Amino acid sequence: MNYYRTSALISGICCILLVSNIQAQDKLYPNEFPLSAVTLLDGPFKHAQDLNIETLLKYNIDRLLAPYLKEAGFTPKDSSYSNWLGLDGHIGGHYLSALAIHYASTGSEECFDRMNYMISELKACQQNNGVLYPEWGKGYVGGVPGSKKLWPELKSGNIGIISDFWVPWYNVHKTYNGLKDAWLYAGSEDAKQMFLQFCDWGIQITAELSDAQMEQMLEIEHGGMNEVFADAYQMTGDKKYLLAAKRFSHKWLLNAMKENVDNLDNKHSNTQVPKAVGFQRIAEIDRDTIYLHAAEFFWETVSQNRSLAFGGNGRQEFFPQKSACKDFITVREGPESCNTYNMLKLTEGLFRMEHDAQYADFYERALYNHILSTQNPEHGGYVYFTPARPGHYRVYSAPNEAMWCCVGTGMENHGKYAGFIYTHEENVLYLNLFIPSTLNWEEKGITLTQTSRFPEEEMTQITIDTDSPVEFELKIRHPGWVEENSIQIILNGDTLNKESKPSSYVSLDRRWVKGDQVIIMLPMQTHFEQLPNVPDYLAIMHGPILLAAKMGTEDMDGLVADDSRWGHIAHGPLVPLKKIPVILGEKSEVFSKIHPVEEHGLKQKLQLTTPEGADTSMILEPFYAIHDSRYCMYWLSLTESEYKDAIDSLARIEQRFITLDKRTIDRIAPGQQQPEADHRMKSSNSESGMHQEEFYRHAADGGFISYTMTTGGEEDMLLLIKYWGNEWGNRKFDILIDGEKLASENIAGKWNRPEFMNVEYPIPIKMIKGKQTIEVRFQAHPENFAGGLYDVRIIRSE
């Protein structure tokens, strides 16, 4: 790795940059301790952090930099990663952030050297963009494919051009964050100046756009661009950045949230969460109560009403409406890791402003049960979707293979565990998380060591080391999962009489001396939580920890994903829900069916009933400890009177669902951003919408829709389209495969039935022989519509 070292002075200036790091973090997040001030001690979080550095160092840095060099007119030193080429550049920004974060957390010189190499290469790209493209490129440092076509068109007011590219603002947002984080966590002044020049570029590109044009542009996923400019304002005090932050705030979401209106049904989850992160940052730096209330209501809506027991949200990347929440149990694609990454950012920000323990409660739940569980503890691979479907499994990435968005956030996640354990405000120290660690509070001249095996043990211990007595107030979180007045605090051997309530802080305000010791007893209770809007499905929790059961290791296809475009989806066979054991009896009886396996520890035995009516049991353990296995985190809970009818009904529904799933080679969900981008959609005179709570897309008056679909090299196949069975008007269109007509269709008045209809079109072998992919095109006749299309699949013949 010697070629990453920009000079022999790098190692010698580490300590200087660590001081700069402290100053930088104070300037942006004044309540946080620098990551370098908190050292993780042995436990699952330290293991994850250390393993993540090993994983990061396996990536080919020149391949990550290739898109930036290409767009800046240089010859790349290596090829771009092929997976998700249309989004080329987004992982590079995450990787830069991850290097800075892990350097700050551990002092890793390898991460530091790589970070500086990236900054030097990106600086050259930024400078050359200004030379090559003086009309629009000054300050630009992005890897968006086709930048020289996109940005000048957008600057001139052609908002529609953005639809021809894959979420370009989302893409560059990762580079913005990477540069900011290189300054924030590792003290790079070069990165800071590049970040601010990049912000000036963003302002220049959008300067002539009207408010209406900005709102139209922000309908496309754009990451947390409002957060970027809010950060720039806090760094500089220049009002132009605050104005830009507000211009980049999507008013469709802001206006609804400030009025306490939940408008998130069927909206792409990770498009919305970063917007709310930006709302919070604007509120924090500008004391704008409208933005604060919008951020608070968004957090409350998602964390309390739309999140699963492990803290994740969204299915198939979208927030479902109430009537569709059972999809969590049926579909493969559960909550996305990126959503929780961003929800934790929002949670941290709101806590900075309000110090409310409910934020720390959610943070703990999501950190242990989701974020920690998204790294394979053996090889370090990252998880995209975490299915909640009983009996399914997760797949993991491999270095230099899959370049998913959740690989990017995964690179960062496991270096930030030390960031929220302790926070401070003036003379107050908040103990938020019970994670073994050492805090060096340099300002107070103390070292605080937290020793704990939590959650394996229901306690944690704090020991103070200081050369001279020091006064400060220690606030200890009374978690929401500990009953009122049940937390026990023992100071130097004496039990304190402290009244406290769940989701609050217990205060110890005193003069601390060397050797002071605080033991905190945290009694954990087992309880269940219902799946949102589906009360028959229960998750078992012990304290904040989700308990789940292993369900075997059969047929876990693609467990470690390859470089294929959809390798992040666990595509192995679905276990029929009718085969999953159930909790039988009244819900009040659930606790009588759960028994500890051992006196200490988290493992529990759950008594269940098989679909055949036989008694059985399964071992529950922390979900974060289950890997390389099928699992069950939600259990169907039925009374005896409900049992037979429910199982029979489940079997009927599942038969149709699983049969179609087994026949499916490739599938598109029209009208949804990610599946359409995945399938390289092209269109003319086309729009999407919702009907009967399902997405659709159609093309009008001679327009078209086309998708690139996978055949897998098979030949005995059909094209299946789902239509609404009561369409009217002019609905004549042609279906073509690679330009050759497959069928002419007219669905107006064809069925006159108010239900969805699946139509199968046999594909002649001559159209697909020897092909791995085909282009499927829906061509509207003049003055007619093609569609609506609600589901498009390539399926095998029965």
Taking a C-beta distance cutoff of 8 angstroms, is the pair 574, 392 a contact?
yes
Q: How far apart (Å, rounded) are the C-alpha atoms in residues 458 and 479? A: 12
Q: How far apart (Å, rounded) are the C-alpha atoms in residues 760 and 718? A: 6
Q: How far apart (Å, rounded) are the C-alpha atoms in residues 68 and 53? A: 24
Taking a C-beta distance cutoff of 8 angstroms, is the pair 767, 774 a contact?
yes
Q: How far apart (Å, rounded) are the C-alpha atoms in residues 310 and 552? A: 21
Return the pLDDT at 8. Answer: 34
Q: Are strands 437-441 and 615-622 parallel, antiparallel or unpaired?
A: unpaired
Cis peptide, bond prior to residue 152, ω within 30 of zero: no
Q: How far apart (Å, rounded) are the C-alpha atoms in residues 8 and 597? A: 56
Which spans in 248-336 are helix H?
251-258, 269-286, 289-300, 327-330
What DSSP string runs through 102-168? HHHHH--HHHHHHHHHHHHHHHHHHHHHHHH-TTT-TT-----TTHHHHHHHHHTT-GGGGGGSS-H
Return the pLDDT at 613. Answer: 84
Contacts 24+ apart (CB under 8 A), 599-604: 600/456, 600/457, 601/456, 602/455, 602/456, 602/542, 602/545, 602/547, 604/526, 604/540, 604/542, 604/547
Angle at 514 between CA 513 and CA 517, to 5 degrees: 85
- Range(s) within the chain of domains with CATH label 2.60.120.260: 669-796
- For 268, which DSSP code? B
pLDDT in tens, 670-719: 998 888 888 989 999 999 988 887 899 999 999 999 999 999 889 899 99
Closest Cα partner for 310 from 385, 241, 220? 385
Cis peptide, bond prior to residue 788, ω within 30 of zero: yes
Taking a C-beta distance cutoff of 8 angstroms, is the pair 508, 474 a contact?
yes
Residue 738 in 3-state DSSP?
A: coil
Sign of CA dihedral 609, 612, 618, 622: negative
Sign of CA dihedral 726, 732, 733, 734: positive
Q: How far apart (Å, rounded) are the C-alpha atoms in residues 319 and 335? A: 9
Angle at 672 between CA 670 and CA 677, to 5 degrees: 90
Q: How far apart (Å, rounded) are the C-alpha atoms in residues 768 and 7? A: 56
Q: How far apart (Å, rounded) are the C-alpha atoms in residues 220 and 677? A: 12
The residues, any chain, with a CB within 8 Å of residue 259's CB and separated by 6 or more, are: none
pLDDT in tens, 19-45: 444 455 567 898 999 999 999 999 999
Return the pLDDT at 25. Answer: 58
Sign of CA dihedral 738, 162, 342, 51: positive
CA distances from 388 to 161, 392, 442, 518, 629 (A): 37, 8, 44, 39, 13
Tokens 């959008």 sit on residue: 206
Return the pLDDT at 134. Answer: 97
Q: What element of type H or E holds 709?
A: strand 694-710
Q: What element of type H or E holds 795?
A: strand 791-796
Is 422-521 assigned to CATH 2.60.40.1180? yes
CA distances from 669 to 123, 719, 789 (A): 40, 14, 9
CA distances from 188 to 17, 22, 491, 685 (A): 7, 12, 42, 47
Q: Are strands 534-542 and 635-638 parallel, antiparallel or unpaired?
A: antiparallel
Q: Dig out the tokens for 449 from the structure.
A: 């060591």
Enumerate the β-bridge partners of residue 222. Answer: none
Number of CB atoms found within 10 A of residue 96's CB? 31
Closest Cα partner for 344 from 383, 305, 372? 372
- Which segments of the chain have a pLDDT < 50? 1-22
Helices 168-186 and 109-132 meet at what angle, rounded to 10? 130
> In whole angstroms, what separates CA 638 from the centre of its chain?
33
Sheet order of strands, 756-762 included: 664-668, 791-796, 717-724, 756-762
Residue 191 class from Cβ within 10 Å (0-12 exposed, 13-18 middle, 19+ buried)? buried
What DSSP string runs through 585-646? S-GGGGGGGEEESSSSSS-EEEEEE-TTS-EEEEEEEEGGG--SS-EES-EEEE-HHHHHHH
Taking a C-beta distance cutoff of 8 angstroms, is the pair 130, 137 a contact?
yes
Q: Dig out the tokens for 373 from the structure.
A: 């569980």
pTM beyond 0.85: yes
- For 392, which DSSP code? B
CATH number of the structural domain 669-796: 2.60.120.260
Q: How far apart (Å, rounded) are the C-alpha atoms in residues 676 and 668? A: 7
Q: Dig out the tokens for 232 from the structure.
A: 């720039």
- Range(s) within the chain of domains with CATH label 2.60.40.1180: 422-521
